[in-house]
Chains A and B, each alone.
Chain A
Amino acid sequence: MKMINERENCILKKLRSRSGETLAEMLVAVLIIAVGMLLIASLIVASNRLIAKGDSKMTSIYENMDQAEKNTAPATEQKVTVTFGQNGTASASFDVNVHQDEDKDFTTYEKKTE
């Protein structure tokens, strides 16, 4: 309790005091505050850029997912092998249309219609 009163008195004394800080002290303090403000400003800008990038990536992912669902991404003819039987003793080769979007996010395939 005594210590708190002492500190309050100290703050009041400082506020009532007509003497200022030294020039050097003020300059250093302003410099530190300026650096701090610059730091937070640059972090906000960087974070904004990250959010914008994430937003754009999210949009492209949803567009590519839509293409994958509908199998409308550019297609190439390829083969898919299905192996079955004990120890993979039998196999069948399928002609398929492989769809992959431009960003190469998603790849799907569908049986080629004969």
Chain B
Amino acid sequence: MRKTTTSNNSGATILIALLFFLVCAIAGAIILAAATTSSGRIAGLAGQEQTYYSVTSAADLIRDDIGNQKFDYYSETDDNGAAITSGVYAGAEPGGKLSALLSAAAESVFKTGNAYTDDITITPDTAETADAMGTVTGTYTMNPDYSLTFTLYSKDKPDEYKCTLTIPADITMDKMNRQVVTTNEDGSTTTTVRTETSLTWGAGKIAKVN
């Protein structure tokens, strides 16, 4: 039975034709699969790059706003070291839209001497732009030397792209003490110690976090 099946020639042409068809189908499927994979990769590339542009745009915005802003802060204590007053010199408040962020962080660093960390979120107001770019979120830290470090990433795709924005601080006066003697109405004098810090934030640098 087996011998007759292997040695019988009838139907061989159709078998060869079917084999040829199979080879054609497999070759075609491989070509199509390769083309589809390559096409899918191109579509994914645009999405990944958009995350990069969203995060970088947010970092640029913060960098442009904080660069060259000034901070002049003082605190006064009496002879016994008790706090009398503290604050920013009139007209010397940090400018820009993020002045509240800078003031709060720098005031905290001035008073505690420790780093100050908080969260930040950047969202486009228009729905269409917000859909295209997504929300960028992260944290910022004002270090004891008043330099700022922002870590930013996409809220929806945190693993796709992450960057840091580092803004140095140029300190011209760092907790410099000087005695202020005030003459009162009755002729007596009051001596207070004024501690001052003055600085300017410089140009920030954006770097990718690995």
Chain B binds chain A: yes
User: Which chain A residues have a beta carbon within 8 Å of chain B's beta carbons?
Assistant: 3, 6-7, 9-10, 13-14, 17, 21, 25-26, 28-30, 32-33, 35-37, 39-40, 43-44, 46-47, 50-51, 53-54, 57-58, 61, 65, 68, 78-86, 88, 90, 92-94, 96, 98, 100, 104-111
Query: Which partner residue on chain B sits nearest A86 by CB separation?
Result: B118
Query: Which partner residue on chain A sits nearest B41 by CB separation?
Result: A54
Query: Which partner residue on chain A sits nearest B38 by CB separation?
Result: A54
Residues of A contacting B57 with CB < 8 Å? 108-110
Q: How large is the interface on B (under 10, 10 to 19, 20 to 34, 35 or more residues)?
A: 35 or more
Is there contact, CB below 8 Å, between A68 and B53? yes
> What are 18 pairs between A and B in contact, CB < 8 Å?
A7-B7, A14-B9, A30-B17, A40-B27, A44-B31, A50-B35, A54-B35, A68-B49, A79-B126, A80-B61, A80-B123, A80-B125, A84-B119, A94-B61, A94-B97, A96-B61, A109-B61, A111-B60
Partner of A88, one of B36, B104, B119, B140: B119
B109 lies within 8 A of chain A by Cβ: no
User: Which chain B residues have a beta carbon within 8 Å of chain A's beta carbons?
Assistant: 3, 6-7, 9-14, 16-18, 20-21, 23-25, 27-29, 31-32, 34-36, 38-39, 42-43, 45-46, 49-50, 53-54, 56-58, 60-62, 64-65, 97-98, 100-101, 104, 118-126, 129, 132-133, 140
Residues of B contacting A109 with CB < 8 Å? 57, 61, 124, 129, 133
| A61–B44 CA distance with the chains assembled, in angstroms | 11
Partner of B42, one of A35, A40, A54, A108: A54
| A91–B55 CA distance with the chains assembled, in angstroms | 18
Residues of A contacting B121 with CB < 8 Å? 82-84, 88
Partner of A25, one of B11, B18, B118: B11
CB distance from A23 to the nearest CB of B (A): 11
Residues of B contacting A39 with CB < 8 Å? 21, 24-25, 28
Query: Do A33 and B31 contact each other (CB < 8 Å), given the known contacts A88-B121, A105-B46, A107-B129?
Result: no
| A93–B123 CA distance with the chains assembled, in angstroms | 10
Query: Do A40 and B24 contact each other (CB < 8 Å), given the known contacts A47-B35, A54-B42, A84-B101?
Result: yes
Residues of A contacting B10 with CB < 8 Å? 25
Residues of A contacting B25 with CB < 8 Å? 36, 39-40
Partner of B123, one of A7, A17, A35, A83: A83
